[in-house]
């Protein structure tokens, strides 16, 4: 079940959901609007390697905005720091953003119970579009959880994205221990 506006406010009051900064005007019927932070990043290398660290270049979005170009993956970040201690948060793009041809995440729209951080966005565009720091970029939706939780994200050994940041974070896939199964 998705939390309503009143339920989101109740959970904020209980401390099970935290949003900083919080603005009541950003609360929708069953979501909370989040905004683009002031930092973007791009990968240095054109070819990325899933088994290696791929360094990024972080830069600040100028006041006059920044034009995103097709064919480039931009890592952005939400202005809002969030915590979710009893619900599964989902980040979706706003329809107004989608109608500009902006996708805000390739695959990582779901958070885990215990996720405490800003959200790194995987931004791509279908045509050039100018964006601005502070613009509405997405909306958080909170789902109720059924059952007990053993492994909260913020307490999980080896969780790769727990360090609090205001800048986008590159893929940490290279930290995973994996290999192709052989027959």
Tens-digit pLDDT string for the chain (183 aa): 999 999 999 999 999 999 999 999 999 999 999 999 999 999 999 999 988 999 999 999 999 999 999 999 999 999 999 999 999 999 999 999 999 999 998 876 788 888 889 999 999 999 999 999 999 999 999 999 888 877 776 666 666 666 778 888 787 777 777 666 766
Count of other CB atoms within 10 angstroms of residue 80: 22
User: 102 Cβ partners below 8 Å, 6+ apart?
Assistant: 68, 93, 123, 124, 125, 129, 131
Q: Is 122 a catalytic residue?
A: yes
The pLDDT of residue 93 is 92
Question: To which CATH superfamily is domain 5-46+54-145 assigned?
Answer: Deoxyuridine triphosphatase (dUTPase) (2.70.40.10)
pLDDT of residue 60: 98
Classify residue 62 by its DSSP letter.
Answer: P
How confident is the model at residue 78, as a pLDDT?
Answer: 97
Catalytic one of 83, 122, 170, 179? 122
Q: Running DSSP on this structure, what letter comes out for residue 151?
A: -
Of 143, 68, 153, 73, residue with least CA distance to 106: 73
* pLDDT value of residue 173: 72
Domain positions in the chain are 5-46+54-145
pLDDT at 180: 66
* CB-CB contact of 161 with 169 (8 Å): yes
At 178 the pLDDT is 66
């Amino acid at each position: 079940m998705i939390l309503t506006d009143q339920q989101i406010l109740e959970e904020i009051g209980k401390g099970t959901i935290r949003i900083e900064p919080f603005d009541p005007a950003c609360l929708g019927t069953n979501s909370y609007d989040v905004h683009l932070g002031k930092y973007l990043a791009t990968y240095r290398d054109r070819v990325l390697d899933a088994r290696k660290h791929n360094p990024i270049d972080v830069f600040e979005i100028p006041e006059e905005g920044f034009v995103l170009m097709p064919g480039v993956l931009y890592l952005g970040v939400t202005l809002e720091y969030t915590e979710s201690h009893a619900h599964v948060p989902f980040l979706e793009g706003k329809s107004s953003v989608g109608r500009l041809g902006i996708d805000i995440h390739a695959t990582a729209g779901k958070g885990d119970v215990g996720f405490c951080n800003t959200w790194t966005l995987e931004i791509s565009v279908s045509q050039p579009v100018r964006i601005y720091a502070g613009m509405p970029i997405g909306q958080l939706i909170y789902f109720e959880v059924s059952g007990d939780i053993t492994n909260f994200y913020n307490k999980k050994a080896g969780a790769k994205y727990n360090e609090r940041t205001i800048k986008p974070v590159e893929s940490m896939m290279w930290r995973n221990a994996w290999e192709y199964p052989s027959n």
